[in-house]
Chains A and B, each alone.
Chain A
């Protein structure tokens, strides 16, 4: 079984400050890891993914995430937050096992960037 934990329901950060949204995962094999963002009344939008290689992956809108295998974490980061980054963020995991295409999502973290 695979699972994702996002320990913070809400993260508040001042505009211009760095932000971190936490994610830890559990999977039997090696993972594919994803971050998605959801704006109000909009569908999920892909931000970035970890497949293999460099532990630091860069994605859309200046976001990046760091894969840490020993801590089974994949935290989302941005050096300088914008008010427009305020949204709901979801971490997701998929097992690398062949034939496994099911994404398991965390509960989501609401990010509020305060002007």
Chain B
């Protein structure tokens, strides 16, 4: 597609429920990132995929958070046993990143606003 697409745009869930957030990156982009943006803050890194594998998941806050990218394109961020503190905008980005192009910029989707009530 023309840009990074994220669905749903808004999600309201009850505390303790499971949620999945989807990201469809720009076609041909091998790198995919998930960030979380809380109110009044800049985006915080969660996880980075190069192809199908998670190359860096050091930003995932705990084991309730998990992400997959089984075919190297679409990615799903999964949150188990949601808590009110998980409420934030979850941003996905993609870029052309392989050896020699580490300086390429990331293109962001519009985000999914998650509200846990």
- Chain A: residues with CB nearer than 8 A to chain B? 4, 32, 34, 36, 41-46, 49, 51, 90, 92, 94, 96, 98-108
Tell me, yes or no, whether B13 is within 8 Å of chain A by CB: no
With the chains together, A100 CA to B31 CA distance in Å?
12
Distance between Cα atoms of A113 and B42 in the complex (Å): 21
Residues of B in contact (CB 8 Å), total 28
Output the nearest chain A residue to B106 by Cβ-Cβ distance. Answer: A103
- In angstroms, Cα B46 to Cα A102, docked, is 9
- Given the complex, which residues of B lie within 8 Å of A44, measured CB to CB? 43, 91, 93, 108
Q: Within 8 Å CB of A42, what residues of B?
A: 110
Name the contact of A105 in the complex, choosing from B42, B48, B55, B110 (C-beta under 8 A): B42
Beta-carbon nearest neighbor of B99 in chain A: A98
In B97-117, the 8 Å CB interface with A consists of 97, 102-103, 105-111
CB-based nearest A residue for B110:
A43
Residues in chain A near residue B106, CB distance under 8 A: 46, 103
Closest 8 CB pairs of A and B: A105-B42, A44-B108, A43-B110, A43-B108, A51-B103, A46-B105, A102-B45, A105-B43
Contact at B43–A49, with CB atoms within 8 Å?
no
From residue 30 to 68 of chain B, which have CB atoms closer than 8 A to chain A? 31, 33, 35, 40-45, 48, 50, 55-56, 58-59
What residue in chain B is nearest A45 (Cβ atoms)? Answer: B108
Across the interface, name the chain A residue whose C-beta is closest to B59: A102
User: Which residues of the partner chain A approach B44 to less than 8 Å between Cβ atoms?
Assistant: 105
